[in-house]
Amino acid sequence: MKSLKIAIIAGEESGDRLGGALMAALAERAEITWFGVGGEDMAAAGLQPIFPLDEIAVMGFDAIVRRLPQLLRRISETATAVAEFGPDVLIIIDAPEFNHRVAKRFRKAMPAVPIVNYVSPTVWAWRPGRAKAMRPYVDLVLALFPFEPEVHARLGGPKCVYVGHPLYERLRSLRRGGEGETLLVLPGSRRGEIDRLMPLFGDVLARLRPELPVRLLAVPRHRARIEALLASWPLAPEILSGTEGQREAFRSARAALAASGTVTLELAAARVPMVVAYKLDWGYRQVKRLHRVLPIVTAPSMVLANIVIGRNAIPAFLEDEATPEALAAALGPLLLPESPERTCQAEAFDAFDAAMGVEDSPAERAADAVLTLLSER
């Protein structure tokens, strides 16, 4: 294959990790000149970023509103710069609030250049109309979940192929050999959700009074805040952080009390039984209220493993349902060896494994899909 010019844009750290792996896989298959936006992993793979990733890596409704003027300016600058680069393909990775606006502008400037969207927007969870709206400016979606190609086909979205989830592949190595001997608490990775969930999780432990040692997995940058919030807890858990801390925490866990999010995928991959809870920020509470009048939320569960297997085997509690009493009642049986609740989740993890597994690495499958698209053009 001739040498290629590829523009690639990641809008946050998780996208940077995906982008770095994809760039390495593509570089094994073709000679490539890179251009775009990314972080450390993509820079290590050969990208000279247009501007630092942290200028656009914002999460949550409230944060986006606060940074909106800067984001709009960077959207315009990025689309213009990518068009001037003249790529053979544009790859946008997650961060739809930023990347899809760049893609729309780029499509108007260079309509013949294919656009690949790595990580499908959660059209299966809310605002399903986004799938059909993507068709004019996205030629191929690389999906992390096996149910997403069918969802895009049903909703009239772009062509979509399942390439596998890298977190699933990595976390499979953390599976325990036995029942585990600790209770793992995961209060989230963002400051707001930590503030909302730490008091709740402390109340759960006060009611449960677990006999097992308790460990808490903390995001390093929020460790000081977590330690301050622990003052109200009835016990002092061991705090772990970082990659090695996660490995140790997952391998020793008998069960977990976790914030909703990607960590539920990680726990399912590592086969750790869990109870999941979440408290919304102000912006998403308004979305929830709007949903009562105009349904815009369509996800059957906030636990990714439940969606993959098509049933709610892992208990999840949102907003008013997330009470200390309800969470303690769901978590207690998971701490007992060979309880029916543990058996139920073990069966769910079997189904999850069968659905998520892929033969090649996700990055290799994604690279092959990109090059197949280019060869068809």
Find residue 160's DSSP bridge partners.
Answer: 141
Distance CA 303, CA 312 (A): 8
| pLDDT given for residue 54 in this prediction | 72
**Beta-sheet pairing, 274-278 with 253-259:** parallel
Distance CA 11, CA 302 (A): 23
Six-digit token pair at 230?
């622990």
- State which amino acid sits at residue 270: A
pLDDT tens for each residue of 189-241: 889 999 999 999 999 999 999 999 999 999 898 999 999 999 999 999 999 99
Q: Which of 94-98, 142-146, 227-231 has the lowest mean pLDDT?
A: 94-98
Question: What's the 3-state SS for 100-158?
Answer: HHHHHHHHHHCCCCCEEEECCCCCCCECCHHHHHHCCCCCEEEECCCCHHHHHHHHCCC
- What is the three-class DSSP state of 271? coil
**Can you identify the CATH homologous superfamily of domain 170-356?**
Glycogen Phosphorylase B; (3.40.50.2000)
Same fold across 4-164+358-376 and 170-356: yes
Does pLDDT of 9 surpass 80?
yes
Pick from 90, 80, 94, 87: which is nearest to 138 by CA? 90
Global pTM value: 0.81
Task: From residue 336, give the alpha-carbon distance in Å to each of 167, 226, 325.
Answer: 28, 28, 18
Q: Where are the alpha helices (DSSP H) in the chain?
A: 13-27, 40-44, 61-66, 68-85, 96-109, 129-134, 148-155, 166-171, 191-208, 223-229, 242-252, 262-269, 282-291, 304-309, 324-331, 340-356, 362-376
Distance CA 266, CA 304 (A): 10
**Averaged over 159-163, what is the pLDDT?**
98
Distance CA 182, CA 184 (A): 6
The DSSP code for 221 is G
Distance CA 303, CA 259 (A): 10
Given this structure, which CATH class describes domain 4-164+358-376? alpha beta
Sequence ranges of the domains in the chain: 4-164+358-376, 170-356
| pLDDT given for residue 300 in this prediction | 63
pLDDT tens for each residue of 286-297: 444 444 444 434
| pLDDT given for residue 3 in this prediction | 93
